[in-house]
Every structure is written in structure tokens, then in C-alpha cells.
Structure 1
Amino acid sequence: MLRYIAWRILVMVPTLVLISMLVFAIIELPPGDYFESYIQELRVLGEQADLQEIIELKARYGFDDPLPLRYFNWVTGMLHGDFGYSFDYRMPVSDVVGDRLFLTILVSVLTIAFTWIVAFPIGLYSATHQYSWGDYGLTFLGLIGIAIPQFMIAIIMMYFGNIWFGISIGHLMDLEYLGQPMSWDKAVSIAEHIWIPVIIIGTGGTAAMIRRLRANLLDELRKQYVTTARAKGLSPAKVVVKYPLRMALNFFIADIGSLLPAIISGAEITAIVLSLETTGPMLIRALQAQDMYLAGSFLMFLAFLTVVGVLISDIALALLDPRIRLDGTRRG
């Protein structure tokens, strides 16, 4: 196991290097840069840009340097904790992300908890009561949850919230607390607002997880070892929980590789619709504006979380399921 972990960590280094090259190339691929887009945007608004300031910023951050040198400076800066400067927000990237990163992690962790808490009992019930009225009803609701996009659910809830209850759904806090330091009143406001985006974002994932858990558990319940356990007189609850449910959880563990980056990126489109103060809309804005340091730092962080998540899921799968061997050998 330790050999495998050490080898995977070594493989992560060239993987992240290749990803960093790809990210840098994608960001640099569109013609021009942030400053050209900024000048054009000001001209459309009928304003004039401070060309002297732009020339100084270009010189300071090496926009006139060759691309290989710019890539090298960007990567070495990140290794030293310098994620660059966000030209769109006029401040260092680490200061821009700040509160948004905390709120994104909070929303995503609560969404994952909501998804698992709801999906586990429903999926277990559907699998053990196959073709019952409850199974049909939950399956129907699950299909609706999968079919309707999250942003559409957000729009529907915003509409009916305004028409039926006269409330405005959106943001993660009252507007008076935006940009303010954390306080007790702000924390209470976040707690009052956060459950709506958690339910909206978690709906699709919950429905999909119910379907997958039901299918995996039904597959395990049809196997010979379950029939043998029943023949030995084990209680129905013990027959289901002891082995079939444990084996059906493999896909939950395998999803860790995608869950970790999802915690940071969040549901971008839904966050835009609901005007959430998370990192998703900021990432999209950075890509649109060619704010290379902000966008590049986000994408590299997501890549890092992905490779770490895949490693964690592989190790956890080997610990959960004795049929999985990390060294490629067969048991027995």
C-alpha cells in the first residue's frame, strides 16, 4: 500500500505539470489579453483607459516576455504561494478568493451532506421494495429531478417564492452584509439563506445517486452469497446491510475524485441565477475577461483537488472492498 501511494504521488507531479501547460495554453489561446479587452470595454462605455497604468502593469507582470518565460514565472510563483494579481478586481488573487472560497466550501459540503442523507434511505428503500408503489413514486420523482436542470429549478423557486410568499430568493445573505467582515448577525443571515441553494443544487445529485444506489444494490441482492445468507436464517436487515450495501457503496467512494473539485467550483450556472457569492461565477468572469492569474489559479487548484481525490478514492476502495487489489495481483 505504501509503495503504491508513493508511486501515485510521484506520478502526480508530471500530471500537474502537463495540466499547468494545458491551462496556460488555453488561457493564452484567445487573441489579445485582459488589457485589450478592458480598453475595448471602456471604449464601448465611452470612457478612456489610463494607458500609462496599463503599460506599467504589463511591464510589471511580464506581458511582453516570451510565452515560455511567462509560463515559468507563473508556475514558480504558485509554488511559492504567489498566485498572481487579478487585474479585473485590482488586488492579489488570494485576497479576491477569500470569503467566496469559504462560502463555496460551506455550500458544497452542506449540499453533499444533504445529497447523501436523502439518497441513502430512499435508495435503500427502493431496492428492498422493488416494483412497489413507493418504488414507482420515488423513481418518478428521481427522474424528474434528473430531467430538470438545476438552474431551471432555481428560476421556478424564485418565481413562486416571489408570487406566493412575497420573498426574494437569491444571495447567501442579506444585501447589507455583502462585503462586510464575518459577525454573528452575518452568520445568522447566511444560515437563513443557505438552505435554498443547498436544496436546489442537491436535487439533481440526489436523484442521480438514488438511481445508482438502487441499481447497484439490486445487482448485489441477486448474487449467490445473499441467497446463502438468507438460507442460513440471517435477518433481512442484516442480510442487506452487512455485505450488499457495503459493496454497493463503491461508486460513492469512486466519486470522491469529482466531489473535491466540485466543492470549490460549485454549480456555476445555478450560482449565477441565484446571485450566490461563490467562486463559480468568479471563475466564469475570469475566463471571459482573460484575467489569466485568477482563472489559471482556479483551474490549477481544481486539477490538484482532482488528482488528490482520485488517489483518495482508489485507496478507500481498496480498504472498503477486499476484491480490489492495488498491486494488480489476484487473491487466492
Structure 2
Amino acid sequence: MSKQGIRRPLSVLDLAPVLEGQTPSDAFQNSMRLAKHVEKLGYKRFWMAEHHNMVSVASSATVVLLGYIAGGTSTIRVGSGGIMLPNHAPLVVAEQFGTLASLYPGRIDLGLGRAPGTDQVTARALRRDRLGAGHDFPEQVEELQQYLSYDNHTSAVRAIPGEGLDIPIWILGSSTDSAHLAAAMGLPYAFASHFAPAQLHTALKIYRERFRPSEFLQAPYTMACVNVIAADTDAAANRLATSFYQLFLGIIRGKLRRMGPPIESMEGVWTAYEAAHAQQMLACSFIGSGATVQQGLQQFLEDTQVDEVIATAHIYDQQDRLHSYEILKEVFDGL
């Protein structure tokens, strides 16, 4: 049963994946088709994540893509999952999201993370003289909030557009650090359990116990990201998942590649150690038929009691990806 008898929202996280034999332009068109599809299905949000220097991910210019997606849809909320704030000046982020919120009022979310979204060498190229910027993340969030507040209209530095607009800010995290921050600031909290599940329960506990009501949020609100690969049968879904496993294997080995087509089995492709490492990091993954996914998600919701689920699907074939989200929505509506 849904939390407190209320149906939880279901959302999508997309990374604009670049497939073997395709280009970032193809990835963007696929993301748009996906956004339109899940909007019709009734998903609540379509978020995109900031990553850099990854051949398999084309969402580096996240704000530009959010404008593209928002312009091609009409009702679904569009947002960042997230903007890696230490890579940017808070004023610029306020102006960018102020522009988006002015163009698409009532539909823009601003999720913020403290990680660089890339390797350390690329982080240096992004941050230039702000190499230790991640340590001042709380101050950056406060500065951003100030630019977006109506009270800032008397300041010498103003975000126009942005000032006074209702742009929900989320704190994103993959460890307990951001849980403390989200709780202290009274902001909604999204956890990256799709690749860092180890501290999920601890982080949720900290956030809920230490939450302080704010002008933005009166009670704790949590969202967890999970991997979902659904198909008509368990066998079909497990085969589709080999594309995801191969992609993740490249990350483990430090040999990044574009996502390739599925293969019959991962046996002989990765070592026992690599398989165990992947399974540990991908523990919050639900792969199988609708019935199998439903069983796994039901247990996940009972264990975490999160208010919302955001799902990502690393699937090579676009039609298979669209179908996976169809199955997921049907399953989720029945929980």
C-alpha cells in the first residue's frame, strides 16, 4: 500500500545516454521522445544529471537540455538531478533557472549536488581557481537561495530573471553529508541509491530525525533513485540488462565506452570480483517482468518509506526503454 494511503509520485532520471553507433544529437532526440512518452503515462518529473568527460553521457550542458525538454513537453516537471553547484557561480545558476522558470512557470525543479560529476582532472578544468569549492557547498546553496528570494530586490547584486520566483530547490546526495544539510535547511532530499546504495537507510534516518521545518517545506520529503529494467519476461529483462552491466564494467575498469547492444550473458565478460562489485553498487536495481519488478519495488518502499521514486533505465534499444517505463508505471500504480 502507498505511504499513508497516498499514491506516491513516480519520476524519471535521464542522462542522455550515447549509444554505440550514434551521436549526442541522437541521444538528445531519444531523451525528448522519452520525456514526451512518460509525460503521457503520468510520470511527475523528468530530471537530467550533470556529468562531464564521459563518452556515454551527453547531459553535460544540463541547463540547455532542460530548456529543450521543457519546450517539447507541456505538463511534466523538468529539473536537474542535479546541477553540481561547486562547478558554477550561484548567481549564474539563479539566472539560468530563473530564465527556465520564466519560460515554463510552475514546471522547473532545481536539484543541487556537491560532487563534480566527473574525474578530478576535469573538475580542475571546470572549476579553475575554485579547486576546493565542494567544501563551501552549504554557503553556495544559501547564496543561491538569496538570489532567488524576493528579499534580494534591495541587494547590489540581483538575479534577473530569478528573483522572487518559486523554484523548488532539492539537495541531492550519495552519502550522509547532504542528509545533514537538507535537514538543517528544511529542503527536500533525493538520494542516489541507483549507484551508491550503501548509506541510503542511514542518510534517510538522519534526514528525517534532524529535519527542521522551513518556509519551503514543513515536513521531511524524500526521493530515492533506482535502476529499473522491465520487460515482458524475466529472461528478456535480464538480457537487456547486459548493456547496463557492460557500461558499468567500463566504469569499474576505467575504460569508458558508449552503451552497446545487449549480449546473451555476462559470463566470461567480467570476473567474479567485478560482478560482485557491480552487484553491490547496483543493489537498488529492479530487473525483470512486471511481477518481478513489482515484488522488488514493494519491498524497497516498505523498507525505505520514501515519498517518491525516480527511476533510470539504461537500455540500448529506444523502444525497449519506452516499454520498460510503460511496465514500470503500470506496476507502480498497483503498489
- The TM tier, using the shorter chain, reads under 0.3
Higher helix share: 1
- When normalised by structure 2's length, the TM-score is 0.21
- When normalised by structure 1's length, the TM-score is 0.21
Higher strand share: 2
**Whose Rg is larger?**
1
Greater relative CO (CA pairs within 8 A, separation 6+): 1
